[in-house]
Amino acid sequence: MTTPWSGSTLAKAIEAFAPGSVESSAGADVWVKPDSISTVCEGLKSRPEFKFDLLSSLTAVDYIDHFEVVYHLTSLPMNASAVLKAKVGRGRTEASVPSVVPIWRGADYQEREVWDLMGIRFEGHPNHKRIMLWEGYPGHPLRKDYVTYDQSITLSIPDDATEKLGGDE
């Protein structure tokens, strides 16, 4: 059975090799400062006590006053899992976080997807382009303030529509 690292234990273990990089921890999650994400991930991948060699999932959530990038890590040799989070774009200003593609190539398409749909930049990504939508698409649809339809189009129903439908009473 895969053993999940608890947030507080992992936070202590991260602080041991990268002092000052952890913001907080709760449950199974550790919040890491966005600037130190590369150092932390590099350590989690290569250090013998972690060996997180597989990046299971990378995604992001829009919490309105900030965005959260979520990393789900798996260690095949230790059969362990961990959750890293990074709060970016506080106050909805320029949201960006260092790319982890140099550490795990599996982040390539996942980071492009987050950029495309959530609008978070990944500094140092080798091919920082949209993936699902085309270049020039307005906005990032998974953001909470994205308007899902063109509000300049108003729906109008002709006055005689009901009359036509219920004609033969």
- Site residues for another protein, 68-107, by CB under 8 A, read 70, 72, 76, 79, 81, 83, 104-107
Q: Using the structure block, give the residue that is written with the tokens 């041991």.
A: 16
Contact residue for another protein among 14, 25, 50, 62 (CB under 8 A): 62
Cα angle 148, 154, 160; round to 5 = 135
Is residue 46 involved in binding another protein (CB under 8 A)? no
Is residue 111 involved in binding another protein (CB under 8 A)? no
For residues 126 to 155, the per-residue mask of contacts with another protein, x marking binding by CB under 8 A and - elsewhere, is -----xxxx------xx-----x-------
Selection from 44, 76, 37 nearest residue 60 by Cα: 37
List, in order, residues 6 or more apart from 125 with CB less than 8 Å away. Answer: 99, 101, 108, 111, 112, 115
Contact residue for another protein among 15, 23, 42, 53 (CB under 8 A): 53
Q: Which burial class, exposed, middle or buried, applies to 154 when counting CB atoms under 10 A from its CB (0-12, 13-18, 19+)?
A: exposed
Q: Which residues bind another protein (CB under 8 A)?
A: 1-2, 53-57, 59, 61-62, 70, 72, 76, 79, 81, 83, 104-110, 113, 117, 131-134, 141-142, 148
